[in-house]
Structure 1
Amino acid sequence: MKKTLLGLVLILVIGLLAACGGSDNEDSSSNGEGEATKDIKIGATPGPYSDMTTKALIPGLEEKGYTVEVVEFSDYIQPNNALNQGDIDANLFQHTIYLENFEVENEMDLTALTTVPTAPMGIYSNVYNSIDEIEDGATIAVPNDPTNGARAYNTLQDEGLIVIDENADELKVSEQNIVENPKNLEFQPIEAGQLPRAVESADLSTVPGNFALAADMDLLDAIALEDMDDSYRNVVAVTAENEDSQLAKDILEVVESDAFEQVIDEEFEGFGKPAWMTE
Protein backbone atom coordinates (compact mmCIF):
# COMPACT_ATOMS: atom_id res chain seq x y z
CA MET A 1 0.00 0.00 0.00
CA LYS A 2 2.82 2.41 0.94
CA LYS A 3 4.63 1.63 -2.32
CA THR A 4 1.45 2.33 -4.30
CA LEU A 5 0.91 5.68 -2.58
CA LEU A 6 4.55 6.64 -3.10
CA GLY A 7 4.26 5.82 -6.77
CA LEU A 8 1.14 7.95 -7.15
CA VAL A 9 2.84 10.89 -5.40
CA LEU A 10 5.86 10.66 -7.71
CA ILE A 11 3.60 10.58 -10.77
CA LEU A 12 1.71 13.63 -9.50
CA VAL A 13 4.93 15.57 -8.81
CA ILE A 14 6.37 14.73 -12.24
CA GLY A 15 3.10 15.82 -13.86
CA LEU A 16 3.14 19.15 -12.06
CA LEU A 17 6.75 19.82 -13.03
CA ALA A 18 5.99 19.02 -16.65
CA ALA A 19 2.98 21.36 -16.58
CA CYS A 20 5.12 24.18 -15.16
CA GLY A 21 7.75 23.63 -17.83
CA GLY A 22 5.14 23.69 -20.56
CA SER A 23 3.71 26.93 -19.19
CA ASP A 24 7.14 28.55 -19.19
CA ASN A 25 7.74 27.51 -22.79
CA GLU A 26 4.42 28.98 -23.86
CA ASP A 27 5.15 32.27 -22.10
CA SER A 28 8.48 32.60 -23.91
CA SER A 29 7.00 31.84 -27.30
CA SER A 30 6.63 34.78 -29.68
CA ASN A 31 4.65 33.17 -32.47
CA GLY A 32 3.20 29.93 -31.16
CA GLU A 33 5.92 27.89 -32.87
CA GLY A 34 8.33 27.63 -29.95
CA GLU A 35 10.55 30.59 -30.83
CA ALA A 36 11.65 32.80 -27.95
CA THR A 37 10.39 36.38 -27.92
CA LYS A 38 12.94 38.82 -29.37
CA ASP A 39 12.37 42.13 -27.59
CA ILE A 40 14.44 44.96 -29.07
CA LYS A 41 14.61 48.74 -28.88
CA ILE A 42 15.40 51.07 -31.78
CA GLY A 43 16.32 54.69 -31.11
CA ALA A 44 15.27 57.61 -33.32
CA THR A 45 14.66 61.33 -33.18
CA PRO A 46 11.06 62.57 -33.47
CA GLY A 47 9.92 63.15 -37.02
CA PRO A 48 10.47 61.34 -40.32
CA TYR A 49 12.98 58.75 -39.12
CA SER A 50 10.92 57.77 -36.13
CA ASP A 51 8.03 57.45 -38.59
CA MET A 52 10.20 55.44 -40.99
CA THR A 53 11.14 53.09 -38.16
CA THR A 54 7.49 52.64 -37.19
CA LYS A 55 5.97 52.39 -40.66
CA ALA A 56 8.65 50.73 -42.77
CA LEU A 57 11.07 48.88 -40.50
CA ILE A 58 9.03 47.51 -37.60
CA PRO A 59 6.38 45.62 -39.62
CA GLY A 60 9.07 43.53 -41.30
CA LEU A 61 10.84 42.84 -38.03
CA GLU A 62 7.57 41.85 -36.38
CA GLU A 63 7.03 39.30 -39.14
CA LYS A 64 10.38 37.82 -38.11
CA GLY A 65 9.19 37.42 -34.53
CA TYR A 66 10.57 40.59 -32.97
CA THR A 67 8.76 42.81 -30.51
CA VAL A 68 10.03 46.31 -31.19
CA GLU A 69 9.91 49.46 -29.08
CA VAL A 70 10.82 52.83 -30.59
CA VAL A 71 12.73 55.03 -28.15
CA GLU A 72 12.68 58.71 -29.16
CA PHE A 73 15.50 61.08 -28.25
CA SER A 74 15.31 64.87 -28.37
CA ASP A 75 18.95 65.43 -29.37
CA TYR A 76 21.62 63.91 -31.63
CA ILE A 77 23.91 62.78 -28.79
CA GLN A 78 21.88 60.44 -26.61
CA PRO A 79 20.90 57.94 -29.36
CA ASN A 80 24.55 56.97 -29.85
CA ASN A 81 25.28 57.00 -26.13
CA ALA A 82 22.33 54.70 -25.53
CA LEU A 83 23.44 52.39 -28.35
CA ASN A 84 26.99 52.23 -27.06
CA GLN A 85 25.73 51.46 -23.53
CA GLY A 86 23.40 48.70 -24.72
CA ASP A 87 20.21 50.52 -23.73
CA ILE A 88 18.96 50.23 -27.32
CA ASP A 89 19.83 47.71 -30.04
CA ALA A 90 20.00 50.00 -33.08
CA ASN A 91 19.26 53.59 -34.05
CA LEU A 92 18.13 55.53 -37.11
CA PHE A 93 18.69 59.30 -37.14
CA GLN A 94 22.17 60.20 -38.45
CA HIS A 95 24.25 60.10 -41.61
CA THR A 96 27.58 58.36 -42.02
CA ILE A 97 29.75 61.46 -41.63
CA TYR A 98 28.13 62.39 -38.33
CA LEU A 99 28.41 58.81 -37.06
CA GLU A 100 32.10 58.54 -37.95
CA ASN A 101 32.94 61.88 -36.33
CA PHE A 102 30.94 60.99 -33.21
CA GLU A 103 32.76 57.68 -32.89
CA VAL A 104 36.16 59.35 -32.97
CA GLU A 105 35.26 62.17 -30.60
CA ASN A 106 33.64 59.83 -28.07
CA GLU A 107 35.86 56.76 -28.49
CA MET A 108 33.01 54.45 -29.52
CA ASP A 109 32.91 51.53 -31.93
CA LEU A 110 29.63 51.81 -33.85
CA THR A 111 28.77 50.65 -37.36
CA ALA A 112 26.59 52.01 -40.15
CA LEU A 113 24.70 48.87 -41.06
CA THR A 114 22.90 50.24 -44.13
CA THR A 115 21.82 53.52 -45.69
CA VAL A 116 18.13 54.34 -46.02
CA PRO A 117 16.10 56.82 -48.09
CA THR A 118 16.73 60.30 -46.74
CA ALA A 119 15.07 63.71 -47.01
CA PRO A 120 17.34 65.79 -49.29
CA MET A 121 18.31 69.42 -48.94
CA GLY A 122 16.16 71.66 -51.08
CA ILE A 123 16.40 75.14 -52.56
CA TYR A 124 13.22 76.95 -51.54
CA SER A 125 11.94 80.35 -52.60
CA ASN A 126 8.88 82.53 -52.26
CA VAL A 127 10.28 84.78 -54.99
CA TYR A 128 11.23 82.40 -57.80
CA ASN A 129 9.40 79.41 -59.21
CA SER A 130 12.41 77.86 -60.94
CA ILE A 131 16.18 77.98 -61.06
CA ASP A 132 16.03 79.74 -64.45
CA GLU A 133 14.14 82.70 -62.93
CA ILE A 134 16.86 83.57 -60.40
CA GLU A 135 18.11 87.08 -61.02
CA ASP A 136 21.53 88.67 -60.70
CA GLY A 137 22.41 89.57 -57.12
CA ALA A 138 19.78 87.34 -55.50
CA THR A 139 20.26 86.61 -51.80
CA ILE A 140 20.50 83.00 -50.66
CA ALA A 141 20.57 81.70 -47.11
CA VAL A 142 22.96 78.78 -46.56
CA PRO A 143 23.85 76.67 -43.50
CA ASN A 144 26.74 78.03 -41.44
CA ASP A 145 27.97 74.61 -40.28
CA PRO A 146 30.63 72.88 -42.43
CA THR A 147 28.75 69.68 -43.24
CA ASN A 148 25.44 71.22 -44.33
CA GLY A 149 27.27 74.16 -45.89
CA ALA A 150 29.19 71.80 -48.18
CA ARG A 151 25.92 70.15 -49.18
CA ALA A 152 24.41 73.53 -50.05
CA TYR A 153 27.29 74.66 -52.24
CA ASN A 154 27.44 71.31 -54.03
CA THR A 155 23.71 71.54 -54.71
CA LEU A 156 24.09 75.06 -56.08
CA GLN A 157 26.84 73.82 -58.38
CA ASP A 158 24.67 70.91 -59.55
CA GLU A 159 22.02 73.45 -60.53
CA GLY A 160 24.54 75.51 -62.52
CA LEU A 161 24.45 78.52 -60.19
CA ILE A 162 28.11 78.42 -59.13
CA VAL A 163 31.34 76.62 -60.02
CA ILE A 164 33.50 75.09 -57.30
CA ASP A 165 37.25 74.58 -57.50
CA GLU A 166 37.72 71.08 -58.90
CA ASN A 167 40.51 70.44 -56.37
CA ALA A 168 38.25 71.12 -53.38
CA ASP A 169 37.22 68.25 -51.10
CA GLU A 170 33.55 67.65 -51.96
CA LEU A 171 32.69 67.00 -48.32
CA LYS A 172 34.38 70.19 -47.09
CA VAL A 173 33.38 72.73 -49.71
CA SER A 174 32.87 76.29 -48.46
CA GLU A 175 32.23 79.70 -50.01
CA GLN A 176 36.00 80.13 -50.34
CA ASN A 177 36.07 77.29 -52.89
CA ILE A 178 33.73 79.06 -55.30
CA VAL A 179 35.62 80.07 -58.45
CA GLU A 180 32.65 81.26 -60.51
CA ASN A 181 29.46 82.98 -59.39
CA PRO A 182 27.85 84.16 -62.65
CA LYS A 183 24.65 85.45 -61.01
CA ASN A 184 26.56 87.21 -58.23
CA LEU A 185 24.58 85.44 -55.56
CA GLU A 186 24.87 86.95 -52.09
CA PHE A 187 25.33 84.22 -49.49
CA GLN A 188 23.85 84.59 -46.03
CA PRO A 189 25.23 81.89 -43.68
CA ILE A 190 22.89 81.13 -40.75
CA GLU A 191 22.16 78.22 -38.41
CA ALA A 192 20.56 75.29 -40.22
CA GLY A 193 17.54 75.29 -37.92
CA GLN A 194 16.71 78.87 -38.98
CA LEU A 195 16.81 78.18 -42.71
CA PRO A 196 13.07 77.42 -43.07
CA ARG A 197 12.29 80.91 -41.74
CA ALA A 198 14.88 82.43 -44.05
CA VAL A 199 12.61 81.68 -46.99
CA GLU A 200 10.67 84.77 -45.87
CA SER A 201 13.66 87.10 -45.63
CA ALA A 202 16.00 85.92 -48.41
CA ASP A 203 15.28 85.35 -52.09
CA LEU A 204 16.30 81.72 -51.69
CA SER A 205 17.11 79.37 -48.86
CA THR A 206 18.89 76.01 -48.89
CA VAL A 207 17.10 73.93 -46.27
CA PRO A 208 18.25 70.45 -45.12
CA GLY A 209 15.43 67.94 -45.44
CA ASN A 210 15.05 67.18 -41.73
CA PHE A 211 14.62 70.88 -40.90
CA ALA A 212 12.22 71.36 -43.81
CA LEU A 213 10.00 68.54 -42.59
CA ALA A 214 10.17 69.76 -38.99
CA ALA A 215 8.85 73.11 -40.24
CA ASP A 216 6.00 71.37 -42.14
CA MET A 217 7.52 72.24 -45.51
CA ASP A 218 6.74 69.98 -48.46
CA LEU A 219 9.92 68.57 -49.98
CA LEU A 220 8.30 68.70 -53.40
CA ASP A 221 7.79 72.47 -53.08
CA ALA A 222 11.53 73.03 -53.50
CA ILE A 223 12.58 74.49 -56.85
CA ALA A 224 15.48 72.02 -56.74
CA LEU A 225 16.40 69.03 -54.58
CA GLU A 226 19.87 67.88 -53.67
CA ASP A 227 21.50 65.02 -55.57
CA MET A 228 22.66 63.62 -52.25
CA ASP A 229 25.97 61.84 -51.74
CA ASP A 230 25.38 58.58 -49.86
CA SER A 231 27.66 59.87 -47.09
CA TYR A 232 24.83 62.25 -46.19
CA ARG A 233 22.10 59.63 -46.20
CA ASN A 234 20.84 58.39 -42.87
CA VAL A 235 21.86 54.97 -41.66
CA VAL A 236 20.66 52.23 -39.37
CA ALA A 237 23.50 51.96 -36.84
CA VAL A 238 24.45 49.14 -34.48
CA THR A 239 27.50 48.50 -32.34
CA ALA A 240 30.44 46.99 -34.21
CA GLU A 241 30.14 44.02 -31.87
CA ASN A 242 26.66 43.28 -33.28
CA GLU A 243 27.43 44.00 -36.92
CA ASP A 244 27.19 40.31 -37.82
CA SER A 245 24.42 39.41 -35.36
CA GLN A 246 21.14 37.79 -36.39
CA LEU A 247 19.36 41.07 -35.63
CA ALA A 248 21.69 42.93 -38.00
CA LYS A 249 21.03 40.36 -40.72
CA ASP A 250 17.28 40.63 -40.17
CA ILE A 251 17.33 44.44 -40.30
CA LEU A 252 19.24 44.30 -43.59
CA GLU A 253 16.75 41.85 -45.03
CA VAL A 254 13.81 44.05 -44.05
CA VAL A 255 15.37 47.27 -45.39
CA GLU A 256 16.24 45.57 -48.67
CA SER A 257 12.74 44.14 -49.10
CA ASP A 258 10.14 45.25 -51.64
CA ALA A 259 7.71 45.93 -48.79
CA PHE A 260 10.09 48.47 -47.24
CA GLU A 261 10.55 50.31 -50.54
CA GLN A 262 6.81 50.33 -51.13
CA VAL A 263 6.23 52.13 -47.83
CA ILE A 264 8.93 54.66 -48.75
CA ASP A 265 7.26 55.35 -52.10
CA GLU A 266 3.84 55.76 -50.50
CA GLU A 267 4.67 57.57 -47.25
CA PHE A 268 7.95 59.44 -47.85
CA GLU A 269 7.61 61.35 -51.10
CA GLY A 270 10.68 63.30 -52.11
CA PHE A 271 13.10 61.19 -50.08
CA GLY A 272 16.23 60.37 -52.06
CA LYS A 273 17.04 56.67 -52.31
CA PRO A 274 20.57 55.34 -51.71
CA ALA A 275 22.60 53.98 -54.59
CA TRP A 276 22.04 50.35 -53.63
CA MET A 277 18.27 50.84 -53.90
CA THR A 278 18.36 52.40 -57.38
CA GLU A 279 20.89 50.09 -59.03
Structure 2
Amino acid sequence: MKKWFVAIILLVVVGALAACGSSSSSDKTSSDSKNIKFGATAGPYSDMLKKAIIPGLEKKGYKVEIVEFSDYIQPNKALNNDDIQANLFQHSIYLENFAKENKMDLTALIAVPTAPMGIYSNKFKSLDEIADGATVTIPNDPTNGARAFNTLQDEGLIKVDENANPLTVSEKDIIENKNNLVFQPIEAGQLPRSVDSADLAAVPGNFALAAKMDLLSALTLENMLDPYRNIVAVKTENKDAQFAKDIQEVIESADFEKVIDEEFKGFGKPEWMKK
Protein backbone atom coordinates (compact mmCIF):
# COMPACT_ATOMS: atom_id res chain seq x y z
CA MET A 1 0.00 0.00 0.00
CA LYS A 2 2.85 2.38 0.85
CA LYS A 3 4.41 1.83 -2.58
CA TRP A 4 1.09 2.54 -4.32
CA PHE A 5 0.56 5.65 -2.16
CA VAL A 6 4.06 7.00 -3.00
CA ALA A 7 3.50 6.32 -6.71
CA ILE A 8 0.20 8.22 -6.69
CA ILE A 9 1.81 11.20 -4.89
CA LEU A 10 4.61 11.28 -7.47
CA LEU A 11 2.12 11.29 -10.33
CA VAL A 12 0.23 14.21 -8.76
CA VAL A 13 3.46 16.20 -8.27
CA VAL A 14 4.69 15.54 -11.82
CA GLY A 15 1.28 16.54 -13.20
CA ALA A 16 1.30 19.76 -11.21
CA LEU A 17 4.81 20.64 -12.44
CA ALA A 18 3.79 19.95 -16.03
CA ALA A 19 0.76 22.22 -15.62
CA CYS A 20 2.99 25.00 -14.24
CA GLY A 21 5.32 24.61 -17.19
CA SER A 22 2.42 24.82 -19.58
CA SER A 23 1.10 27.93 -17.83
CA SER A 24 4.50 29.59 -17.93
CA SER A 25 4.96 28.99 -21.64
CA SER A 26 1.48 30.33 -22.35
CA ASP A 27 2.51 33.66 -20.79
CA LYS A 28 4.40 34.36 -24.00
CA THR A 29 2.10 35.84 -26.64
CA SER A 30 1.72 33.49 -29.60
CA SER A 31 2.15 34.74 -33.15
CA ASP A 32 -1.61 34.51 -33.82
CA SER A 33 -2.71 36.20 -30.59
CA LYS A 34 -4.68 39.44 -30.55
CA ASN A 35 -2.47 40.68 -27.69
CA ILE A 36 0.71 42.53 -28.69
CA LYS A 37 3.48 43.94 -26.55
CA PHE A 38 5.23 46.66 -28.54
CA GLY A 39 8.62 47.89 -27.33
CA ALA A 40 9.90 51.44 -27.82
CA THR A 41 12.21 53.95 -26.22
CA ALA A 42 10.49 56.83 -24.45
CA GLY A 43 10.02 59.84 -26.71
CA PRO A 44 8.82 60.41 -30.27
CA TYR A 45 8.62 56.76 -31.33
CA SER A 46 6.66 55.77 -28.25
CA ASP A 47 4.39 58.71 -29.15
CA MET A 48 4.17 57.44 -32.74
CA LEU A 49 2.94 54.10 -31.43
CA LYS A 50 0.31 55.77 -29.24
CA LYS A 51 -0.96 58.26 -31.82
CA ALA A 52 -0.44 56.65 -35.23
CA ILE A 53 -0.09 52.88 -34.92
CA ILE A 54 -2.00 51.53 -31.93
CA PRO A 55 -5.35 53.10 -32.88
CA GLY A 56 -5.22 51.26 -36.21
CA LEU A 57 -4.34 47.98 -34.52
CA GLU A 58 -7.15 48.41 -32.01
CA LYS A 59 -9.59 48.81 -34.90
CA LYS A 60 -8.39 45.40 -36.06
CA GLY A 61 -9.23 43.92 -32.67
CA TYR A 62 -5.78 43.97 -31.05
CA LYS A 63 -5.03 44.82 -27.45
CA VAL A 64 -1.63 46.56 -27.50
CA GLU A 65 0.66 47.24 -24.55
CA ILE A 66 3.62 49.60 -24.96
CA VAL A 67 6.76 48.53 -23.12
CA GLU A 68 9.13 51.49 -22.78
CA PHE A 69 12.89 51.03 -22.53
CA SER A 70 15.59 53.48 -21.46
CA ASP A 71 18.43 52.04 -23.56
CA TYR A 72 19.10 50.56 -27.00
CA ILE A 73 20.08 47.09 -25.74
CA GLN A 74 17.07 45.70 -23.91
CA PRO A 75 14.41 46.21 -26.64
CA ASN A 76 16.11 43.69 -28.94
CA LYS A 77 16.83 41.27 -26.10
CA ALA A 78 13.18 41.40 -25.10
CA LEU A 79 12.14 40.83 -28.72
CA ASN A 80 14.49 37.88 -29.07
CA ASN A 81 13.13 36.37 -25.82
CA ASP A 82 9.48 36.79 -26.92
CA ASP A 83 8.81 39.19 -24.04
CA ILE A 84 7.58 41.63 -26.70
CA GLN A 85 6.36 40.92 -30.24
CA ALA A 86 7.70 44.01 -32.03
CA ASN A 87 9.79 47.08 -31.33
CA LEU A 88 10.27 50.56 -32.78
CA PHE A 89 13.42 52.50 -31.86
CA GLN A 90 16.30 51.66 -34.24
CA HIS A 91 17.37 51.87 -37.87
CA SER A 92 18.14 48.81 -39.97
CA ILE A 93 21.93 49.27 -39.79
CA TYR A 94 21.84 49.09 -36.00
CA LEU A 95 19.44 46.14 -36.07
CA GLU A 96 21.60 44.13 -38.46
CA ASN A 97 24.80 44.77 -36.50
CA PHE A 98 23.18 44.08 -33.12
CA ALA A 99 21.53 40.86 -34.31
CA LYS A 100 24.78 39.62 -35.85
CA GLU A 101 26.89 40.40 -32.79
CA ASN A 102 24.37 38.80 -30.42
CA LYS A 103 23.41 35.86 -32.66
CA MET A 104 19.76 36.88 -32.91
CA ASP A 105 17.41 36.29 -35.84
CA LEU A 106 15.54 39.59 -36.07
CA THR A 107 14.04 41.27 -39.13
CA ALA A 108 13.11 44.81 -40.18
CA LEU A 109 9.40 44.76 -41.03
CA ILE A 110 8.85 48.29 -42.38
CA ALA A 111 10.48 51.72 -42.19
CA VAL A 112 8.59 54.62 -40.60
CA PRO A 113 8.94 58.42 -40.80
CA THR A 114 11.99 59.41 -38.80
CA ALA A 115 13.27 62.61 -37.20
CA PRO A 116 16.14 63.73 -39.46
CA MET A 117 19.46 65.23 -38.51
CA GLY A 118 19.46 69.01 -38.73
CA ILE A 119 22.14 71.66 -39.12
CA TYR A 120 21.40 74.18 -36.36
CA SER A 121 22.94 77.55 -35.58
CA ASN A 122 22.39 80.43 -33.20
CA LYS A 123 24.92 82.54 -35.13
CA PHE A 124 23.72 82.24 -38.72
CA LYS A 125 20.19 82.63 -40.02
CA SER A 126 20.88 80.80 -43.29
CA LEU A 127 23.52 78.63 -44.90
CA ASP A 128 24.44 81.54 -47.16
CA GLU A 129 25.73 83.47 -44.14
CA ILE A 130 28.26 80.84 -43.05
CA ALA A 131 31.63 82.47 -42.51
CA ASP A 132 34.99 81.12 -43.64
CA GLY A 133 36.52 78.85 -40.97
CA ALA A 134 33.22 78.26 -39.16
CA THR A 135 33.23 75.48 -36.56
CA VAL A 136 30.84 72.56 -36.98
CA THR A 137 30.17 70.09 -34.18
CA ILE A 138 29.36 66.63 -35.56
CA PRO A 139 28.61 63.24 -33.97
CA ASN A 140 31.77 61.35 -33.06
CA ASP A 141 30.34 57.92 -33.95
CA PRO A 142 30.91 56.74 -37.54
CA THR A 143 27.26 56.16 -38.47
CA ASN A 144 25.95 59.57 -37.42
CA GLY A 145 29.15 61.26 -38.53
CA ALA A 146 28.54 59.97 -42.07
CA ARG A 147 25.04 61.42 -41.96
CA ALA A 148 26.45 64.84 -41.04
CA PHE A 149 28.92 64.83 -43.94
CA ASN A 150 26.24 63.68 -46.38
CA THR A 151 23.97 66.54 -45.25
CA LEU A 152 26.72 69.13 -45.59
CA GLN A 153 27.48 67.81 -49.07
CA ASP A 154 23.80 67.96 -50.07
CA GLU A 155 23.88 71.66 -49.20
CA GLY A 156 27.03 72.26 -51.25
CA LEU A 157 29.19 73.12 -48.24
CA ILE A 158 31.64 70.27 -48.86
CA LYS A 159 32.33 67.79 -51.63
CA VAL A 160 32.94 64.13 -50.89
CA ASP A 161 34.89 61.67 -53.02
CA GLU A 162 32.34 60.07 -55.35
CA ASN A 163 33.90 56.66 -54.68
CA ALA A 164 33.20 56.88 -50.93
CA ASN A 165 30.43 54.73 -49.46
CA PRO A 166 27.71 57.17 -48.30
CA LEU A 167 27.05 55.00 -45.25
CA THR A 168 30.66 55.24 -44.05
CA VAL A 169 31.74 58.73 -45.21
CA SER A 170 34.30 60.36 -42.93
CA GLU A 171 36.35 63.56 -42.92
CA LYS A 172 39.14 61.86 -44.87
CA ASP A 173 36.72 61.47 -47.82
CA ILE A 174 36.24 65.25 -48.18
CA ILE A 175 37.92 66.54 -51.34
CA GLU A 176 36.55 70.09 -51.25
CA ASN A 177 35.72 72.35 -48.29
CA LYS A 178 35.03 75.76 -49.78
CA ASN A 179 34.22 77.44 -46.44
CA ASN A 180 37.18 75.81 -44.67
CA LEU A 181 34.81 74.38 -42.12
CA VAL A 182 36.46 73.10 -38.94
CA PHE A 183 34.88 69.85 -37.69
CA GLN A 184 34.63 69.11 -33.97
CA PRO A 185 33.46 65.53 -33.26
CA ILE A 186 31.66 65.16 -29.91
CA GLU A 187 29.26 62.73 -28.25
CA ALA A 188 25.90 62.84 -30.01
CA GLY A 189 24.07 63.49 -26.74
CA GLN A 190 26.08 66.70 -26.25
CA LEU A 191 25.31 68.13 -29.69
CA PRO A 192 22.15 70.07 -28.70
CA ARG A 193 24.14 71.98 -26.07
CA SER A 194 26.88 72.70 -28.59
CA VAL A 195 24.54 74.91 -30.62
CA ASP A 196 25.36 77.74 -28.18
CA SER A 197 29.15 77.39 -28.48
CA ALA A 198 29.81 76.28 -32.06
CA ASP A 199 28.96 78.14 -35.26
CA LEU A 200 27.01 75.16 -36.57
CA ALA A 201 25.89 71.87 -35.03
CA ALA A 202 24.78 68.70 -36.80
CA VAL A 203 22.22 67.28 -34.36
CA PRO A 204 20.48 63.90 -34.94
CA GLY A 205 16.71 64.22 -34.74
CA ASN A 206 16.18 62.05 -31.67
CA PHE A 207 18.64 64.12 -29.62
CA ALA A 208 17.15 67.37 -30.94
CA LEU A 209 13.65 66.31 -29.86
CA ALA A 210 14.91 65.11 -26.48
CA ALA A 211 16.36 68.59 -25.97
CA LYS A 212 12.99 70.18 -26.91
CA MET A 213 14.44 71.62 -30.13
CA ASP A 214 12.09 72.39 -33.02
CA LEU A 215 13.10 70.33 -36.05
CA LEU A 216 11.82 73.04 -38.35
CA SER A 217 14.16 75.61 -36.78
CA ALA A 218 17.18 73.93 -38.42
CA LEU A 219 18.94 75.75 -41.25
CA THR A 220 18.47 72.55 -43.20
CA LEU A 221 17.24 69.03 -42.52
CA GLU A 222 18.93 65.85 -43.68
CA ASN A 223 17.80 64.13 -46.85
CA MET A 224 17.94 60.88 -44.95
CA LEU A 225 18.96 57.61 -46.60
CA ASP A 226 16.47 54.82 -45.90
CA PRO A 227 18.99 52.65 -43.98
CA TYR A 228 19.00 55.43 -41.33
CA ARG A 229 15.23 55.51 -40.94
CA ASN A 230 13.72 53.80 -37.92
CA ILE A 231 12.01 50.50 -38.51
CA VAL A 232 9.54 48.19 -36.83
CA ALA A 233 11.42 44.99 -36.01
CA VAL A 234 10.09 41.49 -35.32
CA LYS A 235 11.61 38.06 -34.91
CA THR A 236 12.30 36.61 -38.35
CA GLU A 237 10.08 33.62 -37.59
CA ASN A 238 7.17 36.06 -37.13
CA LYS A 239 7.66 38.26 -40.21
CA ASP A 240 4.77 36.52 -42.00
CA ALA A 241 2.56 36.19 -38.91
CA GLN A 242 -0.84 37.85 -39.05
CA PHE A 243 0.03 40.46 -36.42
CA ALA A 244 3.10 41.48 -38.46
CA LYS A 245 0.98 41.81 -41.61
CA ASP A 246 -1.53 43.91 -39.69
CA ILE A 247 1.17 46.21 -38.28
CA GLN A 248 2.47 46.78 -41.80
CA GLU A 249 -1.04 47.41 -43.14
CA VAL A 250 -1.71 50.02 -40.43
CA ILE A 251 1.55 51.84 -41.17
CA GLU A 252 0.81 51.83 -44.89
CA SER A 253 -2.65 53.33 -44.34
CA ALA A 254 -3.82 56.85 -45.13
CA ASP A 255 -4.81 57.32 -41.47
CA PHE A 256 -1.21 56.71 -40.38
CA GLU A 257 0.17 59.26 -42.86
CA LYS A 258 -2.44 61.81 -41.78
CA VAL A 259 -1.31 61.59 -38.15
CA ILE A 260 2.34 61.87 -39.21
CA ASP A 261 1.60 65.02 -41.22
CA GLU A 262 -0.31 66.59 -38.32
CA GLU A 263 1.66 65.45 -35.27
CA PHE A 264 5.21 64.74 -36.44
CA LYS A 265 6.18 67.80 -38.47
CA GLY A 266 9.69 67.67 -39.89
CA PHE A 267 9.91 63.87 -39.85
CA GLY A 268 11.34 62.52 -43.10
CA LYS A 269 9.24 59.89 -44.86
CA PRO A 270 10.74 56.65 -46.18
CA GLU A 271 10.88 56.05 -49.92
CA TRP A 272 7.85 53.73 -49.94
CA MET A 273 5.66 56.61 -48.69
CA LYS A 274 6.83 58.92 -51.50
CA LYS A 275 5.73 56.62 -54.33
TM-score (norm 1): 0.87
2:66 matched residue in structure 1: 70
- Measured in 1, the distance between the counterparts of 2:226 and 2:199 equals 29
- Measured in 2, the distance between the counterparts of 1:37 and 1:242 equals 12
- Measured in 2, the distance between the counterparts of 1:193 and 1:243 equals 33
Say yes or no: does 1:217 pair with 2:181: no
- Trace 1:48-127 onto structure 2 (pairs within 5 A): 48-127=44-123
1:201 matched residue in structure 2: 197
Equivalent pair of 2:34/2:243 in contact (CA under 8 Å): no
SS of residue matched to 2:269: coil
- Measured in 1, the distance between the counterparts of 2:84 and 2:175 equals 46
SS of residue matched to 1:200: coil
Structure 2: state its 5+ residue gaps.
1-31
- 1:126-182 Cα distance to aligned partner (Å, 9 max, x none): 000111110100000000000000000000000000000111111000011101001
- Measured in 1, the distance between the counterparts of 2:184 and 2:144 equals 14
SS of residue matched to 1:44: strand
SS of residue matched to 1:107: coil
- Measured in 1, the distance between the counterparts of 2:213 and 2:243 equals 35
Equivalent pair of 1:113/1:238 in contact (CA under 8 Å): yes
Equivalent of 1:133 in 125, 129, 133: 129
- Measured in 1, the distance between the counterparts of 2:170 and 2:189 equals 19
- Measured in 2, the distance between the counterparts of 1:37 and 1:122 equals 40
- Measured in 2, the distance between the counterparts of 1:269 and 1:181 equals 31
SS of residue matched to 1:171: coil
SS of residue matched to 1:213: helix
Percent of paired sites with the same residue: 73
The size of the alignment, in residue pairs, is 244
- 1:171-223 Cα distance to aligned partner (Å, 9 max, x none): 00001110100100010000000000000110000000000000000000000
1:265 matched residue in structure 2: 261
Q: CA RMSD in A?
A: 0.9
Q: Which runs of 4+ in 1 moved over 2 A?
A: none
Structure 1: state its 5+ residue gaps.
1-35
**Residue 37 of structure 1: how far off its partner (Å):** 7.0
SS of residue matched to 1:170: coil
